[in-house]
Amino acid sequence: MKVRVEMLEITSLVIPEGRLDFAAAAHFEQRLAEALDVAGASGAALIVDCAWLEYVSSAGLRTFLVTARAAERAGVMFALAALTPAVREVFELSGFNRMIPLHADRGTALEHAVSRAGRKARLVVLNEALQLPALTRFLQEFWADAALPAGPAQAFELALEETFMNVVLHGAPAGSARVEVSLHLSGGQLALTVEDDGPAFDPLSVPAPDVSARLEDRPVGGQGIHLVRRMMDEVSYRRVGRRNQLRMSKRVES
């Protein structure tokens, strides 16, 4: 049996070809586990396109059950698509069709995955200022792909710049650490998360600047995080293991 694995939108797509029998099961289960890891890290769904799957034995069936349980633990949507009548019958007779969603074709499965799990994207860069244009591009491409309204874009570009530059200027020495930026759009709400492995620092603990101060009394810094709080609906900080995690969210579509 041959197994192809692809990334499509937010989905890991596994495409087995041929016979999934006892001899092929261990290898197939391994490929599914790898694809699930990828889906858990950057996507939201794992879909197996069964259009070229000719036969499934009981050992083969078991690999789907193992994967379904692992997907549930990882919070990843798992579904099968385009089963041939013979393979579908095996799923129905065993009752597995009640545990694993079966879709008529790949397109339906993808659509279902996107609408249920939302849209996710993730980018990891070094903590240096010259990475900022790449981050802005990443955000703008996400915006265009999701066809979001232009209005709230500036708030997110600003939040990304302020929080990233905060890490660059006040975190680990430039170029020595990684910053992970992720976006998750779900139910009209967009969440931006910025994580770094620098020393523990809660930017929300910095007191808000006095916005009524006279020019002479104004410090030239310290505006950034205040602006972010002002422009986002919610901002929260957590220390997760050895990482700082700043999460910002705002409604972007009704």
Q: Which is nearer to another protein, 124 or 134 (CB)?
A: 134
Listed in sequence order, the residues at least 6 apart from 58 whose beta carbon sits closer than 8 Å to its beta carbon are 94
Site size with another protein, rule: CB under 8 A: 27
Beta bridge partners of 182: 122, 193
Hey, which residues between 191 and 210 contact another protein (CB under 8 A)? 209-210
Could you tell me the smallest distance in angstroms from the CB atom of residue 190 to another protein? Answer: 18
The runs of H, that is alpha helices, within the chain are: 22-42, 58-74, 85-94, 106-117, 132-145, 153-170, 224-231
Side-chain half-sphere CA neighbours of 163 within 13 A? 33
Q: What are phi and psi of 239, to 5 degrees?
A: -95, 115
Q: Which stretch binds another protein (CB under 8 A): 17-25, 57-65, 152-160, 195-203?
A: 152-160
Q: Which is nearer to another protein, 98 or 230 (CB)?
A: 230
d(C-alpha 211, C-alpha 213), whole Å: 6
Q: Is 220 in the site for another protein (CB under 8 A)?
A: yes
Q: Is 226 in the site for another protein (CB under 8 A)?
A: yes
Out of 21, 231, 245, 250, the only residue in the binding site for another protein (CB under 8 A) is: 231
Q: Which stretch binds another protein (CB under 8 A): 25-33, 65-73, 119-127, 150-158?
A: 150-158
Q: What are phi and psi of 213, to 5 degrees?
A: -65, 150
d(C-alpha 176, C-alpha 239), whole Å: 19
Could you tell me the smallest distance in angstroms from the CB atom of residue 145 to another protein? Answer: 20
Out of 158, 172, 174, 177, the only residue in the binding site for another protein (CB under 8 A) is: 158
Could you tell me the smallest distance in angstroms from the CB atom of residue 188 to another protein? Answer: 21
Listed in sequence order, the residues at least 6 apart from 66 whose beta carbon sits closer than 8 Å to its beta carbon are 29, 32
Q: Which is nearer to another protein, 40 or 209 (CB)?
A: 209
d(C-alpha 232, C-alpha 246), whole Å: 12
d(C-alpha 197, C-alpha 85), whole Å: 50
Local structure of residue 21 (DSSP, 8 states):
-
Site string (108-147) toward another protein, x via CB under 8 A: ---------------------xx-xx--x-----------
Out of 5, 59, 146, 165, the only residue in the binding site for another protein (CB under 8 A) is: 165
Hey, which residues between 14 and 33 contact another protein (CB under 8 A)? none
Q: Which is nearer to another protein, 147 or 215 (CB)?
A: 215
Q: How many CB atoms lie within 10 A of CB 212?
A: 6
Q: Which residues bind another protein (CB under 8 A)?
A: 129-130, 132-133, 136, 154, 157-158, 161-162, 165, 209-215, 218, 220-221, 223-224, 226-227, 230-231
